[in-house]
Amino acid sequence: MMRKLFAVAAASALTLAMSTTAFAAAWKQDKTGQWRYMTSDSTWLTSTTTPDGYQVDVNGYWNGQPSTKAAQQASGNAQDQGESAVSQYKVNGNRIFKITEASLDEASNSYQIKADLFDTAFKTNDEIKAIKKGDTVELPGVGKLTAENNAGRGVLRASTAPKKDGTTPKESGYSVRLTDAAGNHYMLSAQRLRKTNADNSTSEVILRPVATGIALTLPTYRSSQRVNGTSRYSSTKKMIENKMMFEATLKGSEITELKDTVYNYDTTTTPVYSADAGHGHLANKDEY
């Protein structure tokens, strides 16, 4: 009975939050009554904490628990502060960490990690939509680029009429072609930034630098998850030893879910470095 009352209270709190600020931040409820958090570029947040403090799972669904923000403010302990230190950074796409330092504690129970934080996206869909031909677009770690065309959608909706479930079709994502002074070309979307060099011989995906020197704790028993849709897999030990990239769910500064990422195997991926990244310069800049 108590558990049922708690669930009702938690749901009521979430509904109240969504009726004030969360709906503006794009909470959506599907036909089964479950809640998901949609970003401004029409993608679902997954395996993370939403800006208003709710946890969503790998499929983007709210886990039914109250917001962690109130608990963090009340406790003020190191674990809560660890998640706050990461959540303060705006991430438009997926949150990607890259290990720069790692050591095993004396009891061999956990790894103490220092990691740099990257974002798979440089701008939101709305920000890209506003770019016009000839505009100067400055991207962290990349520099000043010039728009070659007006931002446009790759696929246009045939209709904006409501669907059978009552929802309205969303606009397809916007993208824009950019160029730099050296003649290199870029395709910017809300999902990624892809660079093609001037002679079209190479193409690479660039990750946006967000922060450096983030302290995290990884229990030694925590197994890494395989990259979705591929046969690629690196064990936790291999990821630590090779200072690889990963995605993670955090509880405070502890990594509660460790996920391998395709960026470890796509040799055309480049995490750029920038003096504007949080906590100073990226420590791994000499690797690129």
Choose between 276 and 161: higher pLDDT. Answer: 161
pLDDT greater than 70 at residue 94 = yes
pLDDT greater than 60 at residue 101 = yes
pLDDT greater than 60 at residue 278 = no
What would the pLDDT profile of 206-250 be if each residue is shown by its tens digit? 899 988 899 999 998 888 888 776 677 788 999 999 999 999 988
Using CA atoms, how far apart are residues 255 and 28, in angstroms rounded to an integer?
27
User: Could you tell me what percent of the chain has a pLDDT over 70?
Assistant: 68
Residue 106 pLDDT grade (very low, low, confident, very high; cuts 50, 70, 90): confident
**What's the pLDDT score for residue 279?**
38
Task: Write the single-letter amino acid at 99.
Answer: I
pLDDT greater than 90 at residue 132 = yes
Q: Is 261 in contact with 239 (CB distance < 8 Å)?
A: no
Length of the chain: 288
Task: Write the single-letter amino acid at 119.
Answer: D
Cβ burial of 135 (10 Å; 0-12, 13-18, 19+) is middle
Average pLDDT, the chain: 76
Nearest to 263 by CA among 46, 58, 95: 95
What would the pLDDT profile of 167-204 be if each residue is shown by its tens digit? 555 556 899 999 999 999 999 998 889 888 888 777 88
What would the pLDDT profile of 30-88 be if each residue is shown by its tens digit? 877 788 888 877 788 888 888 878 888 878 888 877 776 655 554 444 444 445 557 77
The DSSP-derived string for 169-221 is PPPPPEEEEEE-TTS-EEEEESS-EEEE-TTSS-EEEEEEEEEEEEEEEEETT
Q: Torsion-angle region of residue 16: left (phi > 0), alpha (psi -120 to 50) or beta?
A: alpha
Q: Where are the beta strands (DSSP E) in the chain?
A: 27-29, 35-37, 48-49, 55-56, 95-104, 110-119, 136-139, 143-147, 152-153, 174-179, 185-189, 193-196, 203-219, 224-225, 245-251, 254-259, 269-271
pLDDT greater than 60 at residue 8 = no
Most distant pair of Cα atoms in the chain: their distance: 68
**H or E element in which residue 15 lies:** helix 2-17
**What's the pLDDT score for residue 273?**
54
DSSP state at residue 285: G
